[in-house]
Structure 1
Amino acid sequence: MKNVVRSGAMTAVAGLGLSLTVLPAGPADAAAATRVRCGDITGLVDAINQANTSGGTITLASHCTYTLTAADNADDGLPEITGNVTITGRDTTIRRDPAATQDFRILHVALDGTLTLKALTISGGSLPAFAGGGIWNSGTLNLKRTTIKGNHAETSGAIHNVGGRLDLVDSTVEHNTATLNGGGILNGRNQLLGRPGTLTMHGGSLLKNRALNDGGGGLENLRSTAELTSVSVKGNTAPRGGGINQFAGTLHLTSTTLSENIAVTGGGLRNSFSTATLVRSRITRNTAITAGGGIFNENDSSVTLDASKVTHNAPDNCSPESSVPNCPST
């Protein structure tokens, strides 16, 4: 995993060239909403730069797609988020142009930045030789009723949360791909600052994401803390931990279901040097090629099942046998 702290380079995107329309709610409101016309990439860049300086909300057009044809800086389609920025829409998409010749992710939240996305879709980001196909977060990232889909990177197909705080509410991470690990989300430690990542997810799903050559089809949790409540982790694939893979991490699942995930080991969950607690949760109908169809628990790790069930997994439910108390091996 690559942990790199980027500086806040902000250069104008060569976008669609429409003008920015600013419609303040009132002259006395310094942080009034900035409205950006449908497809106006130049206006969106200007609005982010303004919000980075003074904070504020950017309102995008409903039922509209904003297509990025070129990067704003080395790796990001839009300016880095260094202030307190909120972007809202309604059935609104920000995407990398499928015909773009340059590889870049969509958004990057810097160490001191805070970004809130509401009712948006982030898609098409591509960084085949780097991390965070959709979004890189080192600060604070809040997703509300937002979908991150169809992004690709070497690591962290959708979201790379390294030492940051990531909160998802009623949001979906789906059909993203990582060449290595973290097909959907990688929640990891910032090695430079010695700060672990923190992930909370309430509602929503990790759906049909893929890690092609390492761990964590839906979620890779590395030396960090992840808490999922009422989440569906379904149809993800990876060599290790098809649904969730964690190494030296802490995982807490409440009213959460891991189902129909596939891996070589740990179809639902692979737990290594880690602690996992499941409360009123289910791990069912997952598949492992060798062992741990439901849970593969290794290297002095612990899994606690509290009113939770691990059933109907193939070729077994928990492996090694007796490594998970109260879990039937078959």
Structure 2
Amino acid sequence: MKYVLRSGALTVAVGAGLSLTVLPTGSASAADGIQVRCDDIPGLVAAINQANTNGGRITLAPRCIYTLTTPDNPDDGLPEITGDVTISGKDSTIRRDPDATEDFRIFHVVSGGTLTLKSLTVSGGSIGNMGGGALNDRGTLNLNNTVVKDNLAVTGGGLYNNGGQLNLDRSTVEHNSATGFGGGVVNDAGGTMTMKRGALLKNRAALNNGGGLENILGTATLESVSVRGNTAVSGGGIRNVNGSTLNLKSTTLKENIAVSGGGLSNLASPATLVDSLVTRNTAITSGGGIDNQSNGQVTLTNTKVIDNEPDNCSPEGSVPGCTNPTAAIDPPPTRDLLPDDDIKDPQ
């Protein structure tokens, strides 16, 4: 059975040759799901409210852009996620109107809520606090084959995970900006972030730290992820601070830029890199590849930190297995470097 949400009413196809019956919004079941017509924002809002109550799957029109012109509540473009809500599309986009006069993020998951996004793009959010694309406040946010791009916030330009569970699979966080820290993602307050495949790409923390990812008092695990082309004051690619735990596996930190810690800035925290590559990152002062400060512990296992400017690791000797070339020693020939193809880079 198929439900099609049309701005507060559901049209139900009950079988071949039978008439259509109009049912109230609350009549759809979680098992059947709800279809929302292209750019039907009242229908999308009603579908989310219904799914919050009953749980359910919402399906958007393929390759359609849903444009939010005004917020649903003071900070959010759509209703807060309080239940178990899944929104699926096929190259569909939910965005804040570039000409909107009010600032608002796109999604907000509150404590106890679960939001799963599949094959969507979330873009254009703008907020004067946390999470331009989405704020996950002690709930669960799952992104599958989803792009979060061109969002702006003070902290967590793309995503802010505040003490919740953030899971990204084959997803990309790109071209987001923060005026404070965490251009792409902030993982904070005991939050857990797991990212498999995908990329943190060309995000920017304009005046602070953590261009791609700022990990604060949380645990972040990235596997087969490209962290590339991000910029910040400290930790162009990733900044790991305040006792946070960072685990990188089969991950590339490449072409990130910062004043210090071009690829990774690690401060008083454990960071483990396995089967990974840190290369072609740039720092204005030191720690082109890795800047490891205040008794931070960086463990490299089958990982290369090479060809970073002006050095690979700082302070000298602070990262076991990481060496800085000297003027008397030529850099290793290209054939000795780990090829990019050895580590999957979705770019």
Q: TM-score, normalised to structure 2's length? A: 0.86
Aligned amino acid, residue 280 of structure 1: D
What are the equivalent positions in structure 2 for 1:174-185 lying under 5 Å apart? Answer: 174-185=174-185
- How far is the alpha carbon of 1:46 from its aligned partner? 0.2
1:300: which partner in 2? 295
Q: Does the CA-based 8 Å contact 1:202-1:228 persist in structure 2?
A: yes
What are the equivalent positions in structure 2 for 1:286-325 lying under 5 Å apart? Answer: 286-325=281-320
- How far is the alpha carbon of 1:228 from its aligned partner? 0.1
- How far is the alpha carbon of 1:20 from its aligned partner? 5.2
> Which of 210, 225, 236 in structure 1 is aligned with 2:230?
236
Q: Distance in 2 between matches of 1:18 and 1:45?
A: 8
The verdict on how the C-alpha distance between 1:36 and 1:293 changes in structure 2, with shifts beyond 3 A counting, is same
Q: Does the CA-based 8 Å contact 1:214-1:239 persist in structure 2?
A: yes
- Secondary structure of 1:171's aligned partner: strand
Q: Distance in 2 between matches of 1:78 and 1:28?
A: 20
The verdict on how the C-alpha distance between 1:107 and 1:311 changes in structure 2, with shifts beyond 3 A counting, is same
- How far is the alpha carbon of 1:32 from its aligned partner? 1.7
Q: Does the CA-based 8 Å contact 1:21-1:43 persist in structure 2?
A: no
Aligned amino acid, residue 327 of structure 1: C
What are the equivalent positions in structure 2 for 1:15-34 lying under 5 Å apart? Answer: 21=10, 23=12, 29-34=29-34
Over aligned residues, Cα RMSD in angstroms? 1.6
- Secondary structure of 1:204's aligned partner: strand
1:192: which partner in 2? none
What are the equivalent positions in structure 2 for 1:177-216 lying under 5 Å apart? Answer: 177-189=177-189, 196-216=190-210
Q: Does the CA-based 8 Å contact 1:227-1:253 persist in structure 2?
A: yes
- How far is the alpha carbon of 1:142 from its aligned partner? 0.3
Deviation track 1:149-190 (CA, whole Å, cap 9, x = no partner) reads: 00001111000100010000000000000001000000000x
Q: Distance in 2 between matches of 1:324 and 1:24?
A: 64
Please say if 1:272 is aligned against 2:267: yes
Q: Distance in 2 between matches of 1:84 and 1:198?
A: 19
- How far is the alpha carbon of 1:131 from its aligned partner? 1.0
Deviation track 1:200-251 (CA, whole Å, cap 9, x = no partner) reads: 0000000000001111000000011000000000000000000000112100
The verdict on how the C-alpha distance between 1:57 and 1:22 changes in structure 2, with shifts beyond 3 A counting, is farther
The verdict on how the C-alpha distance between 1:25 and 1:59 changes in structure 2, with shifts beyond 3 A counting, is farther
1:8: which partner in 2? none
- Secondary structure of 1:48's aligned partner: helix
2:328: which partner in 1? none
What are the equivalent positions in structure 2 for 1:51-200 lying under 5 Å apart? Answer: 51-127=51-127, 129-138=128-137, 139-189=139-189, 196-200=190-194
1:10: which partner in 2? none
Q: Distance in 2 between matches of 1:105 and 1:114?
A: 17
- Secondary structure of 1:71's aligned partner: coil
Q: Distance in 2 between matches of 1:175 and 1:28?
A: 37
1:260: which partner in 2? 255
Aligned amino acid, residue 80 of structure 2: E
Deviation track 1:253-307 (CA, whole Å, cap 9, x = no partner) reads: 0000000000000000000010000000000000000000000000010000000
Deviation track 1:37-57 (CA, whole Å, cap 9, x = no partner) reads: 000000000000000000000
- How far is the alpha carbon of 1:30 from its aligned partner? 4.6
Q: Distance in 2 between matches of 1:318 and 1:166?
A: 30
Q: Percent identity?
A: 61
Aligned amino acid, residue 130 of structure 1: N
Q: Distance in 2 between matches of 1:296 and 1:207?
A: 20
Moved over 6 A (4+): 24-28
Q: Distance in 2 between matches of 1:25 and 1:286?
A: 59
Q: Does the CA-based 8 Å contact 1:20-1:44 persist in structure 2?
A: no
Unpaired runs of at least 5, structure 2: 1-5, 16-26, 326-347
Q: Does the CA-based 8 Å contact 1:210-1:237 persist in structure 2?
A: yes
- How far is the alpha carbon of 1:329 from its aligned partner? 2.1
- How far is the alpha carbon of 1:21 from its aligned partner? 4.5
Deviation track 1:2-30 (CA, whole Å, cap 9, x = no partner) reads: xxxxxxxxxxxxxxx95654558999955
Deviation track 1:66-88 (CA, whole Å, cap 9, x = no partner) reads: 00000000100000000000000
Q: Does the CA-based 8 Å contact 1:23-1:33 persist in structure 2?
A: no
Q: Considering only CA atoms, is the larger Rg found in Structure 1 or Structure 2?
A: 2
Deviation track 1:76-109 (CA, whole Å, cap 9, x = no partner) reads: 0000000000000001000000000000000000
